[in-house]
């Protein structure tokens, strides 16, 4: 790790003030992506602003229509919340499968979403449920949030504060693990709302994306067989030693069918 200055922020306002004063700062939440990145010297921030102690950014609230999760809520809290399990079981199930128990104790939802790792799980739920991302400055729709590899609509110095997930009639998430890291080689989140179905894919492209052809078919008939023959072109998909773009394209349809079958 390169050297950096460390600051602890007590409030969002405090964090923003510290951020403005520093040369090339980064916010530190659970640190389970940022610290490994720093250890590999892939980033060299001048200052780390630790926001993990800001109490107002933690916690889960569930109403009849939405599950709202504070950005600093660790995965374990979403995974084990009986209210989340009841309202959106697929969301609790997704959180339960991130990393391993120790990673889930520290890693945060906001950190994962703000980072937009191409193989992260949470972006599939954010996009699949059509969530609303709140920051210190504004609200951003999920459809306008993910921009590319590690790239989001967040501006420099903007803090993700919470995410509100609409409660669907049913939803399912299925992930095909990259066998070594257990990150998503392909993960598909399917959500059925009164007004239609949303399908979001992670692991396969530069960032999470929707599949309109599948949404249309599932809106007409919410069953795995409705997806028969519907594929995503391999052209823009990721290709690496773990799987070719064509393999990932094939997996999208397979995992989408399984997600529909598992939806509840």
| Backbone torsions φ then ψ of 196, nearest 5 degrees | 150, -175
3 state DSSP class of 93:
helix
156 binds other proteins (CB under 8 A): no
Count residues near other proteins (CB under 8 A). Answer: 25
Asked if 1 interacts with other proteins (CB under 8 A), we say yes
In angstroms, the first-to-last Cα distance of the chain is 44
The one segment of 2-10, 155-163, 211-219, 229-237 that binds other proteins by CB under 8 A:
2-10
Per DSSP, the residues of 145-161 read TEEETTEESPPTT--EE
Task: Say how far apart CA 70 and CA 7 lie, in whole Å.
Answer: 21
Tokens 């530069």, residue located: 206
CB of 189 to other proteins, least distance (A): 22
Out of 26, 85, 170, 182, the residue judged to bind other proteins by CB under 8 A: 182
Nearer to other proteins, 98 or 124 (CB): 98
23 touches other proteins by CB under 8 A = no
- Mark residues 39-58: x for contact with other proteins by CB under 8 A, - for none: x--------x-x-x------
Closest residue by Cα to residue 27 from 121, 161, 183, 147? 161
Is position 101 an interface residue for other proteins (rule: CB under 8 A)?
A: yes
Each residue 117-146 as x (binds other proteins by CB under 8 A) or -, in order, gives: ------------------------------
Task: Tell me which H or E stretch contains 257.
Answer: helix 245-262
Alpha-carbon gap, residue 32 to 52, rounded angstroms: 12
How far is Cα 105 from Cα 174, in angstroms, rounded to an integer?
A: 22
Q: Give the CB-side neighbour count of residue 164, counting CA atoms within 13 A.
A: 11
By CB under 8 A, tell whether 8 contacts other proteins: yes
Q: Nearer Cβ to other proteins, position 99 or 206?
A: 99
Q: Nearer to other proteins by C-beta: 184 or 226?
A: 184
Whole-angstrom distance, CA of residue 130 vs CA of residue 248: 23
Under rule CB under 8 A, which residues in 52-91 are in contact with other proteins? Answer: 52
Taking the complex as a whole, the smallest distance from the CB of residue 116 to other proteins amounts, in Å, to: 19
User: Residues interacting with other proteins, by CB under 8 A?
Assistant: 1-6, 8, 28, 31-32, 35-36, 38-39, 48, 50, 52, 99-103, 105-106, 182
């Amino acid at each position: 790790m390169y050297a950096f200055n460390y600051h602890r922020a007590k409030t969002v306002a405090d964090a923003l003030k510290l951020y403005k004063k520093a040369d090339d700062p980064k916010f530190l939440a659970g640190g389970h992506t940022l610290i490994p990145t720093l250890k590999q010297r892939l980033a060299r921030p001048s200052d780390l602003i630790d926001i993990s102690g800001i109490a107002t950014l933690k916690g889960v609230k569930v109403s009849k229509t939405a599950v709202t999760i504070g950005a600093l809520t660790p995965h374990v809290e979403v995974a084990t919340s009986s209210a989340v399990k009841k309202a959106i079981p697929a969301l609790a199930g997704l959180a339960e499968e991130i990393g391993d128990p120790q990673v889930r104790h520290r890693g945060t939802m906001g950190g994962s979403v703000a980072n937009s790792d191409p193989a992260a799980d949470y972006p599939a739920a954010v996009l699949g449920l059509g969530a609303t991302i709140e920051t210190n400055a504004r609200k951003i729709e999920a459809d306008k949030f993910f921009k590319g590899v590690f790239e989001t609509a967040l501006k420099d110095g903007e803090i993700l504060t919470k995410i509100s997930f609409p409660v669907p009639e049913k939803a399912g998430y299925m992930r095909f693990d990259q066998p070594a890291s257990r990150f998503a080689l392909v993960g598909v989140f399917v959500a059925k709302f009164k007004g239609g179905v949303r399908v979001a894919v992670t692991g396969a492209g530069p960032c999470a994306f929707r599949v309109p052809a599948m949404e249309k078919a599932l809106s007409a008939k919410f069953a795995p067989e409705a997806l028969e023959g519907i594929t995503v072109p391999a052209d823009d998909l990721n290709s690496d030693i773990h799987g070719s773009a064509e393999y990932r394209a094939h997996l999208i349809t397979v995992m989408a069918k399984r997600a529909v079958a598992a939806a509840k």
